[in-house]
Chain A
């Protein structure tokens, strides 16, 4: 059992989500940085699909009722276990009764805490992820929330420290053109590729909003709603792009002019309010 002492700004339970149900109206949800979640699980001998805590901007304090093997990945934070200094990207033992405390990350936004055995809250459609848009899965954790630890571990930890490249100061995301790239002007596409944007504080697990030069629409008519995918770059009427994340709606009524490349969507999940972003446009 893990008891949350302080959740920090936002902490939710996440796993690989609920893909394959968008046609029925269910968003995929899941970790915003799937690679970091997978790594955290591997470091403690869990299957990659086990549920972890996704900690937004650090600040978590959690007390462990039983001795546990944990790992922290994603946005690197200062780590303390009781009075010892901890570390990220490697397995770490927390003894019964000890409290794990995370500081604020210097870079990135979301830190993943895996515990050997996985967090064992009841799954909804095969996933324990909290979907903040549709209200599926467990509530975000609060002070006093108690999270059971399961027995999902399938292997032994084999790595002491995983080599992980540092998160960049400025994000560069590659965007593949389509399907509605012609709904903005050719000048807007050139602008998008040349200007840098800033991650808006109004960003969340639904999408990363960018502040910067608005993109001029080539068409003013209304687009009937159509399907959305993770990484879709949507241009709402104010011309400021929204890049969809894990809890995106399954359909949307504004044109999607491109999609963030799969290799870069985990970086998008680490986009931090105030961070500079450039989009590299890949013509389709």
Chain B
């Protein structure tokens, strides 16, 4: 664990990988240290934002270093099932890149249980980890100027669903009709850090 100062009201905690980030995120979410106002998990880091009137860099760093990443692991996480039509424009390209048949790509994509590691890029966009390592593919060489809402894509170690039409370079293998982001819901993002996700072929 390395802790960097990030302005006057945040620390950036760098960890070995998304599992460690998720562990620390859960631990600090389960028992938020005094003065912490937001936690932003990402691929290798957890941004800890605080109110400098209520805590300081040194005391907060000590709390973070002493946090037990296993502490929040037992927190019950919601499981979301996303029905997907596997007819994405890059399904054949992903099959070529992985040396698998399109049907095998679908079988492996639906065979894993994913966890939302972090949100970002746009409201409601979640980076899901836990996928089959055989499905790790690079982003497209040339991003699309608009990816439709509900598109299910792959990029590196992540899979994700576009919450609304956005530019994007992920390899699109399918689409879901579920609403990923709805400001009229109490919790507008369907997928938040820690949520478990399964994809079901339609």
Contacts and interface: CB of A to CB of B under 8 A. Distances in A.
Interface of A: 19-27, 124-125, 133-136, 176, 178-180, 224-227, 229, 231-232, 249-251, 256, 259-262, 284
Contacts of A25: 119-126, 189
Interface in B28-52: 37-47, 49
Contacts of A23: 25, 38-41, 118-119, 192-193
A265 B32 CA distance: 27
A25 to B, nearest CB: 4
A224 B43 CA distance: 6
Nearest to A230: B7
A261 B8 contact: yes
B49 A249 contact: no
A250 B120 contact: yes
Contacts of A225: 42-43, 120-121
Nearest to B41: A23
For the residues of A in contact with B, the DSSP-based class is loop
B42 A24 contact: no
A259 B4 CA distance: 12
B5 A22 contact: no
B145 to A, nearest CB: 17
Given A20-B37, A251-B40, A229 B123 contact: no
A203 to B, nearest CB: 20
Nearest to B163: A25
Nearest to B11: A179
A184 to B, nearest CB: 15
Contacts of B118: 23, 251
